[in-house]
Amino acid sequence: MYVRLTYVNFLPEKLDEAKRIYNNEIIPVVKQQKGNLDCRILEPDDKADDFISMTVWDSREDADAYQSSGMYKEQVDRIRSSFSKEPVLKVYSSESVLEPA
C-alpha cells in the first residue's frame, strides 16, 4: 500500500472555498482512479500547522500512474489560488497490518 501526503497551507480568506472544492470536487475524482483506496483532507488542530491531503493506493504502480497522468497536478491546480505557500508532496509505503483477533 502506498500513501501520498501533500502538505498544504491555505490563505485564511480562501480556506472555506478550498475545503468545499476538495470535498465536493477533488475527492470524487481521485476515488475514481484505479487503485485508490482512500482520499481525505486532514485538518490540523493547531491552525499554524499544514493541512494534509492524503491519498492511499493499492500499489506503487497505481500511485505512480495517478502522478504521471497529470491528474495529481490537475487536482492541485483546482485549489492553487487558495495556497499561502507551495504544497509539498511526500510518498510512503506501508504494509497491511491485521488487527489481532
Which amino acid type is present at position 30?
V
Q: What's the CATH number where 54 sits?
A: 3.30.70.100
**Nearest in space to 12 (alpha carbons), one of 39, 52, 48, 41:** 48
Q: Does residue 98 lie in a domain region? A: no
Q: Is the pTM of this model over 0.85?
A: yes
Domain that holds residue 75: 2-93
Residue 39 domain-assigned (yes or no):
yes
pLDDT of residue 94: 84
Question: Does a structural domain hold residue 28?
Answer: yes
38 within domain boundaries:
yes
Counting the structural domains of the chain, the total is 1
User: For residue 50, is it within any domain?
Assistant: yes
Among 90, 75, 9, residue whose Cα is nearest residue 44: 9
Cβ pair 93, 60 in contact under 8 A: yes
For the chain, the C-alpha Rg in angstroms (whole number) is 14
For residue 100, what is its C-alpha cell?
A: 489481532
User: What values do phi and psi take at 90, rounded to 5?
Assistant: -130, 140
Reading the chain (101 residues) residue by residue, the pLDDT tens digits are: 999 999 999 999 999 999 999 999 999 999 999 999 999 999 999 988 999 999 999 999 999 999 999 999 999 999 999 999 999 999 999 876 555 55
